[in-house]
Amino acid sequence: MSYNTFGHMFRISTWGESHGPAIGCVVDGCPPGISIEAEEIQAHLDKRKPGGSRFVTQRRESDTVEILSGVFPDANGRQVTTGTPISLLIRNEDQRSKDYGEIKDKFRPGHADFTYIAKYGIRDYRGGGRSSARETAMRVAGGAIARKVLGSAIKIRGALVQIGPHKIDRSRWDWASIDTNPFFCPDAQMAGTWTSYLDQIRKAGSSIGAIVEVVAEGVPAGLGAPIYGKLDQDLASAMMSINAVKAVEIGAGMQAAELTGEENADEIRTSKDGQPQFLSNHAGGILGGISTGQPIVCRFAIKPTSSILTPRRTIDVSGNETEIVTKGRHDPCVGIRAVPVGEAMMALVLADHLIRHRGQVGNPTRQE
């Protein structure tokens, strides 16, 4: 796995900076014959697009994706993948001319400014350059293709389950609510609370963290591998690679520390149609690194953006002590737009493991 490539057999490589001419990705290892239209990719991109509500960055980007290679009309005239690399491109549009003088020379606390310089000695400081969340648009685009590889039997959905101190009530979980509020919140009542809470954060020029949960249903048992090919390992890698993520949980997650063996072990019965049926899902759908056929449940915590209006103490590139205030168009809660990104990473991991499994063992046959 290289610096800008994710996946083993089904791979995505991304490139591009926030304020360069374009961003893009190359999807390699895609099976041939899978129908894909730019519109399908666009639909997922639109969920992540900036400017969707007052709770996300007001940057104006149409984020229109262009497919440059790897597709061709099949005998029926449907555009399908050919098995060769699929190149996707999005031109950057809203590169608002601004004075970068301040962030050019000062390190924003909590941001990658300092570490990029420490590593490379140079960085494209405009809009965060490569460390901008804009890169995640290409993950969403690649994830849209991964979903087509997985097929409609596998359903991947994400939700925001906590903003700051406000957690959803899981007894009110309703997937249908997700699209009825600007937060991907499955608890309609909590969405109301969040609205007023985030307005307050936004007006204060502050920001706040959040927790995202991504669930994949319909995944056959057998995906993943023991030891260093674990499905949960690759999910942890995938989610932790998203900007601002500080923790990843599978199933019971950190709470597993407080469970006894009796509580934790998901007992098994046989369903009417003779399939294994688990009575609980503390495992989050993964045992020994391999999928059980239960829903795969993954959560991750997103830190608040460091772009805030309150001055913070920092240093400049010459080591002089100073202060910084980040003006500009930023997300009071970057966790919101991380929901479609988390879904995309789940899709990328599953598509990769499906192909790896089919290679070593053949098509997965057992399913819960």
Residues 207-226 that bind a second copy (CB under 8 A): 207-211, 221-226
Residues 315-334 that bind a second copy (CB under 8 A): 315, 319-321
Residues 254-313 that bind a second copy (CB under 8 A): 254-270, 274, 276, 279, 282-284, 286-293, 301-308, 310, 312-313
Closest CB to a second copy among residues 176, 183: 183
Q: How many residues does the chain have?
A: 368
What is the smallest separation between the CB atom of 202 and a second copy, expressed in angstroms? 11
Strand partners, 245: 302
Among 35, 53, 64, 84, binds a second copy (CB under 8 A): 84
Is residue 232 a contact residue for a second copy (CB under 8 A)? yes
Output b/e per residue, 59-86; b: 16+ Cβ within 10 A: bebebebebeebbeeeeeeeebbeeebb
Answer yes or no: are the C-beta atoms of 92 and 132 closer than 8 Å: no
Answer yes or no: are the C-beta atoms of 136 and 239 closer than 8 Å: no
Closest CB to a second copy among residues 114, 173: 114
Is residue 146 a contact residue for a second copy (CB under 8 A)? no
* Of 42-50, 95-103, 175-183, 253-261: span binding a second copy (CB under 8 A): 253-261
Strand partners, 13: 5, 26
For every residue of 43-100, DSSP letters joined together read HHHHHH-TTSSTTS--------EEE-SSEEE-TTS-EEE-SS-EEEEEE---------
* Of 5-13, 45-53, 55-63, 188-196: span binding a second copy (CB under 8 A): 5-13
Residues 155-194 that bind a second copy (CB under 8 A): 162-165
Closest CB to a second copy among residues 120, 176: 120
Q: What binding mask, one character per residue, do residues 44-83 give for a second copy by CB under 8 A, x or -? A: ----------------------x-xxx-x-x-----x-xx
Which 8-state DSSP code applies to residue 110? T
What is the smallest separation between the CB atom of 26 and a second copy, expressed in angstroms? 5
| 365 CB neighbour count, 10 Å cutoff | 9
SS3 176: helix
What is the smallest separation between the CB atom of 269 and a second copy, expressed in angstroms? 6
Residues 87-116 that bind a second copy (CB under 8 A): 87, 107-112, 114-116
Is residue 140 a contact residue for a second copy (CB under 8 A)? no
Among 192, 161, 146, 197, which Cα is nearest to 346's?
146
Answer yes or no: are the C-beta atoms of 291 and 283 closer than 8 Å: no
Answer yes or no: are the C-beta atoms of 14 and 118 closer than 8 Å: no
Report the chain's terminal Cα–Cα distance, integer Å.
32
* Of 20-28, 46-54, 96-104, 186-194: span binding a second copy (CB under 8 A): 20-28
